[in-house]
Amino acid sequence: MSLPNPDNRPLLIGPPTGPEAPFPFRMEGEVISGFGRGSKELGIPTANLPVDDENTWIKNIDSGIYFGWASLKLPASHPNSVLYQKPPTSEPVMMEPVQQQQQNQQQQQKQEGGVESAQQEKLVDQQSGQWQIYPMVMSIGYNPFYKNTVRSAEVHVLGEFAADFYGVGMRLLITGFIRNEKDYSGLEALIADIHFDCEVARQSLARKGWRVRELGVKEGEEEGELDGSWLVR
């Protein structure tokens, strides 16, 4: 099924050989909560990064829609992490009274550790995470449809996630520009344009000149030639 394309926009951005100057750009930070509209109103969840106006390229870049690669340092506790171990679903093992008493004491000690202990565990979990790469499409600007007064960077990672990842480290390799931001007469037109942006990103990044080498080779895909080492080091 073809996507609506009222403006006859191209599905491929840039030459097959890869990004052209001034791209690629780099951006990184911890994922923060945004406006809360991506999932609720658009059905397109976004991850927000703080925009540092002191960063020269962000300050000078046109507002609009960009695409490229995102890496997330997903902790081992996140269901999408390659380090994730699914909790056992087998029936609980019956313990002897002494074993049960020891386990109860351990749980009590853990609870007595309070918030500080929980924060330490979260920090260790986060630090032991592993960078994972995904294609992405992002908006940098004010989003005229919503009349934002603060410039934001909203990233839509092209993948299915079983849980959110607020506070997770994110790195972006921005490889190209799709279009200028614009206002819309209604929500449906905005959603249709975003879906088309996502398809532009997928098809453009599938070419070997645009695909990062660090993804490896999967069946039916070309080996990438783009250096994405910064995303995972």
Tokens 């330490």 sit on residue: 120
Give the C-alpha separation, 21 to 185, whole Å.
34
Per DSSP bridges, beta strands 64-74 and 47-49 are unpaired
pLDDT digit string (tens) for the chain, length 233 residues:
578 776 788 999 999 999 999 999 999 999 987 645 544 556 788 888 888 766 668 878 898 999 999 999 999 999 999 999 877 765 555 555 655 566 666 666 656 555 555 556 555 555 668 999 999 999 998 876 666 667 788 899 999 888 888 899 999 999 999 999 887 878 888 888 989 999 999 999 999 999 999 998 877 777 899 999 999 98
Tens of pLDDT along 192-202?
A: 898 999 999 99
Q: What is the pLDDT of residue 216?
A: 87
Per DSSP bridges, beta strands 64-74 and 25-30 are unpaired
Q: What is the pLDDT of residue 98?
A: 56
Q: What is the pLDDT of residue 214?
A: 95
Q: What is the pLDDT of residue 45?
A: 83
Of 29, 38, 51, 34, the C-alpha closest to 151 is: 51
Q: Check if the beta carbon of residue 201 is closer than 8 Å to that of residue 136.
A: yes
Which 3 state secondary structure label does DSSP give 189? helix
Catalytic option among 20, 112, 116, 154: 154
Cis peptide before 24 (omega within 30 of 0): yes
Q: What is the pLDDT of residue 117?
A: 57
Dihedral angle computed from the Cα positions of residues 198, 69, 151 and 38, in that order, rounded to the nearest 10 degrees: 40
Task: Please tell me the total number of residues recorded for the chain in this structure.
Answer: 233
Token pair of 161 as six digits? 């996630």
Q: What is the pLDDT of residue 51?
A: 80
Q: What is the pLDDT of residue 122?
A: 54
Strand partners, 26: 173
Q: What is the pLDDT of residue 15?
A: 97
Give the C-alpha separation, 189 to 145, whole Å.
11
Q: What is the pLDDT of residue 166?
A: 87
Q: What is the pLDDT of residue 86?
A: 79
- In 3-state terms the chain splits into helix, strand, coil percentages (rounded to 5) of 30, 25, 50
Q: What is the pLDDT of residue 181?
A: 87
Q: What is the pLDDT of residue 35?
A: 47
Q: What is the pLDDT of residue 42?
A: 61
Residue 154 is a catalytic residue = yes
